[in-house]
Amino acid sequence: MISHKNFKLYIDKNYQTVCKAAALHIVSHVKTTPRSILGLATGDSPKELYKSMVFYSQTMNVSFSKVLTFNLDEYIGLEENSKDSYQFFMNEHLFKHLDIDLSHTHFPLVHQNIETSLRHYQTLLETHSIDIQILGIGTNGHIGFNEPGTPFNSKTHIANLTESTLKNNQKHFKDQAHLPSQAMTMGIDEIMRAKKIMLFASGKHKKKPIDDMVNGPISIDFPASILQTHPNVELYLDLDAAEDLLKLLEIE
Whole-number pLDDT of residue 252: 43
Whole-number pLDDT of residue 43: 85
Which position among 71, 140, 146, 169 bears the catalytic label?
140
Which position among 73, 84, 131, 234 bears the catalytic label?
73
Give first-to-last CA distance, the chain, whole Å. Answer: 14
Q: Verify whether residue 111 is a known catalytic residue.
A: no
The per-residue DSSP string of the chain comes to: -EEETTEEEEEES-HHHHHHHHHHHHHHHHHH-TT-EEEE--SSTTHHHHHHHHHHHHHTT---TT-EEEESEEESSPPTT-TTSHHHHHHHHTGGGS---GGGEE-S--SSSHHHHHHHHHHHHHH---SEEEE---TT--BTTB-TT--TT--SEEEEPPHHHHHHHGGG-S-GGG--SEEEE--HHHHHTSSEEEEEE-SGGGHHHHHHHHHS--BTTBGGGGGGG-S-EEEEEETTTTHHHHHHHT--
- Give the length of the chain: 252
Q: Verify whether residue 142 is a known catalytic residue.
A: yes
Which position among 48, 84, 131, 147 bears the catalytic label?
147
Q: 75-111 burial, b for 16+ CB within 10 Å, e for fewer?
A: bbebeeebebbbbebbeebbbebbebeeebbbbbbee
Range 2-249 has CATH code 3.40.50.1360:
yes
Q: Verify whether residue 212 is a known catalytic residue.
A: no
Q: Verify whether residue 146 is a known catalytic residue.
A: no
pLDDT per residue rounded down to tens, the chain (252 residues): 788 888 999 999 999 999 999 999 999 999 999 999 999 999 888 999 999 999 999 999 999 999 999 999 999 888 777 888 899 999 999 999 999 999 999 999 866 789 999 999 999 999 999 999 999 999 999 999 999 999 999 999 999 887 777 677 666 676 666 678 888 999 999 999 999 999 999 999 999 999 999 999 999 999 999 999 999 999 999 999 999 988 877 654
